[in-house]
Amino acid sequence: MLSRLLFSLFLLGTLYGFSTPVVLAAPPVSKGSHVQPVLPVLLNLGELPDSSFSGQEPPRVTADAAVLMEASTGQVLFAKNAHQQRPPASTTKILTALLAIEGGRLEQVVTVSSRAATVGESSMHLFPGQRLTLEQLLYGALLRSGNDACVAIAEHIAGSEENFVWLMNQKSRELGARNTHFCNPHGLPARGHLSSAYDLALLTRYALKNPTFRALVSTRYRGFVNPPWREYHLQNTNRLLWSYQGADGVKTGTTSEAGMCLVASASRGGRQLISVVLHSDDRYGDTMVLLDYGFTCFKNTAVVEAGQTCRRIPVTGGVVSSVPLVSDRTIEVTVPVHRPPALVKRFNVQTDLTAPLPRALPAGSIEVWVDGEPVAKARLLTGRSVERLPVYRLWWKNLLIGMTATEIVYVLALKDFCP
- The tens digit of pLDDT for each residue in 278-297 reads 999 999 999 999 999 999 99
Kind and range of the H or E run holding 68: strand 65-70
User: Strands 353-354, 309-316: parallel, antiparallel or unpaired by DSSP?
Assistant: parallel
Distance CA 26, CA 34 (A): 14
Task: Compute the distance between CA of residue 176 and CA of residue 242 in angstroms, rounded to an integer.
Answer: 32
Mean pLDDT of 256-277: 98
Give the pLDDT confidence score for residue 359 in this predicted structure. 96
Tell me the CATH architecture of domain 305-382.
Answer: Sandwich (2.60)
Percentage of the chain modeled with pLDDT above 90: 75
Residue/partner pairs of 301-304 with CB below 8 Å, 24 or more apart: 301/332, 301/333, 301/334, 301/335, 302/330, 302/331, 302/332, 303/331, 303/332, 303/333, 303/343, 303/345, 303/368, 304/330, 304/331, 304/345, 304/366, 304/368, 304/378
Would you say 107 and 115 are in contact if contact means Cβ atoms under 8 Å apart? no
Average pLDDT over residues 383-410: 68
CB-count burial class (<10 Å; 0-12, 13-18, 19+) for 193: buried
Dihedral angle, C-alpha 161, 164, 170, 176, nearest 10 °: -90
Q: Among residues 121, 142, 106, which one has the least CA distance to residue 263?
A: 142
pLDDT digits (tens, 9 = 90+) for 112-149: 999 999 998 899 999 999 999 999 999 999 999 999 99
**Domain-wise residue ranges, the chain:** 65-298, 305-382, 391-419
Average pLDDT, the chain: 86
Q: Which residues are catalytic?
A: 90, 93, 145
Residue-wise pLDDT for 65-79, tens only, equals 999 999 999 999 999
Q: Which DSSP category does 59 fall into?
A: P
Query: Which residue type is seen at 370?
Result: V
Across 21-30, 47-56, 281-290, 370-379, least confident range: 21-30
Task: Report whether 71 contacts 280 (CB < 8 A).
Answer: no
If one looks up domain 65-298 in CATH, what number appears?
3.40.710.10
Confidence at residue 79, expressed as pLDDT on a 0 to 100 scale: 97
Predicted TM-score of the model (pTM): 0.80
